[in-house]
Chain A
């Protein structure tokens, strides 16, 4: 039984082939990079894995279960969490509340117990609050815990989004362009941050990124997509020298 496996995943939007016949496997603790030029279908892959899109063809298995076409919140409860390319925080909620949302799916009290503040709900709420506080301290956002999420600086918002995903207790984390729009120093910090949470939580991570230095420095295994087609897979060094990949990114050499 493999930890995470995608078989022949295909997504067509009408006549457009967004993703074609993608297969990948991941073991527990793997760090895989999904790269490719704009419009290659990388985010579409994440959307299919997390249940936002129903793949046209193909299967997704997670911890031995077929999760293809399952609803998003059930997939999340099963242990897959994600972040978004264009940050999607709950802007009007506080930083702490954003993280507490991550625990709500595992709340066992009913809404009756919540309205009348019965003992079980009270203790669960207290636990939620303290766990969220601890998580924020770990990612160094505890000093802004009571600020509205929408008011945070860009880098902090990215971090908060990851923290919120971690709160749902995932085994597999999907990061969609975690360093988009960051300067080299921030990118370096984020690299360390991702490495540290990976070790601390024993997570498998799949990430989408354009920043080559970031991807080459972090990932152990790469998959390159171009127009939905997998054009190369392998170690970062292999990918770097793959003529097809260079062509996809830089265009055909002149006179070829």
Chain B
């Protein structure tokens, strides 16, 4: 018993050590790396946050939702409207003036971000009532519909969202500390939730909804819980994204964003948080590296002109390969643990 306790303590220390190490690494990066590299790292963090929270509803609770772009949009708009100063808002809203309470509100970044997440969660809460009346493919279609509705609303409610013009000139608040801070917090909350009794209940619903209900699990409440938690973090990620690229418009939050996330969680392994984290980082980086394939190149005697969109072809091939050779994704439903890591190292030692 005491041996087990000691071990758990050591694993815990390892986790904290790794987090400190990560941020020490960022400190180094911040001083030495160029802006482009820092930007990729920031985008990675946003996608880690998105993928991990998206995996909660799709992978753990097994409810195939296609609506994270809606929550990101709500989070991004809410955060942006709160951080913009009244003067800036008056300047941008040229078609229709902004409505009253929003025109004077001005908050620092952190509360804005949290309120952005809270609004996305509220939307998730309201959406859950109609959405979870259906299952499977139907659920996917309904959530997809909601995503589009949010985009159309953002385009048309000009006195709040400034319509198709979007919001411009946001301060670039998002830096490595914010983006990775939120990412680490998300991973902490989501993995803790998954490993708790509530996470088990969600997995039970994924495995067999009828049996879960017969075993006393309130199926609707747990789907709702997964959905709202997912919405909250997706909203925060939206806020971070807005203050990273400093301009948001309705077109940014199209279905394409959801599609990217889906690719990430499927490649990482549905239900594996470790997989989502790894895949989110790989895919964002690969997206940058693969810019090379869109440039004109010369292979031997052939001169190939630059083909924009070639990256997407490579991504599609990657996805097809994953579906053929690793149907479960990189990690399946396995998770990283220090126990596994220690075992892995020991095997390495024995071989060497």
Which A residues from 103 to 127 make CB contacts under 8 A with B?
103-107, 109, 111, 114-117, 121, 124-125
* Chain B residues closer than 8 Å to A168, beta-carbon distance: 215-216
Q: Report if A101-B200 is in contact (Cβ < 8 Å); known contacts: A77-B216, A82-B214.
A: yes
Closest to A149 in B: B207
Once the chains bind, are B217 and A73 in contact (CB under 8 Å)? yes
Once the chains bind, are B216 and A116 in contact (CB under 8 Å)? no
* Chain A residues closer than 8 Å to B200, beta-carbon distance: 93, 97, 100-101, 104
Q: How far is the CA of A117 from the CA of B192 in the complex (A)?
A: 8
Which A residues from 51 to 65 make CB contacts under 8 A with B?
51-52
Q: Report if A88-B208 is in contact (Cβ < 8 Å); known contacts: A105-B216, A106-B216, A115-B192.
A: yes
Q: Tell me which of A72, A91, A125, A165 contacts B213 (CB under 8 A).
A: A72
* Chain A residues closer than 8 Å to B24, beta-carbon distance: none
* Chain B residues closer than 8 Å to A102, beta-carbon distance: 215-216
Closest to A124 in B: B197
Q: How far is the CA of A68 from the CA of B338 in the complex (A)?
A: 50
Closest to A168 in B: B216
Does B314 belong to the interface (CB within 8 Å)?
no
* Chain A residues closer than 8 Å to B210, beta-carbon distance: 52, 72, 84, 88
Q: Report if A105-B193 is in contact (Cβ < 8 Å); known contacts: A90-B204, A93-B207, A114-B198.
A: no
Closest to B205 in A: A90
Q: How far is the CA of A164 from the CA of B189 in the complex (A)?
A: 28
* Chain A residues closer than 8 Å to B316, beta-carbon distance: none
Once the chains bind, are B192 and A76 in contact (CB under 8 Å)? no
Does A71 belong to the interface (CB within 8 Å)?
yes
* B: contact size bracket: 20 to 34
Q: Tell me which of B193, B203, B204, B215 contacts A76 (CB under 8 A).
A: B215
Q: Tell me which of A76, A84, A91, A92 contacts B216 (CB under 8 A).
A: A76
Against A, the Cβ 8 Å flags (1 = close, 0 = not) of B170-214 are: 000000000000000000010011001110110110111011111
Q: Report if A73-B204 is in contact (Cβ < 8 Å); known contacts: A88-B211, A115-B189, A128-B197.
A: no
* Chain B residues closer than 8 Å to A128, beta-carbon distance: 197
Against B, the Cβ 8 Å flags (1 = close, 0 = not) of A67-99 are: 000011100110001101000111111000100
Once the chains bind, are A76 and B207 in contact (CB under 8 Å)? no
Q: Tell me which of B189, B211, B215 contacts A105 (CB under 8 A).
A: B215
A-B contact pairs, 21 of them (CB 8 A): A50-B214, A52-B214, A73-B216, A76-B213, A76-B214, A82-B214, A90-B211, A90-B212, A91-B207, A93-B200, A97-B203, A101-B204, A101-B212, A101-B217, A102-B215, A105-B215, A105-B217, A115-B189, A116-B192, A164-B215, A165-B215
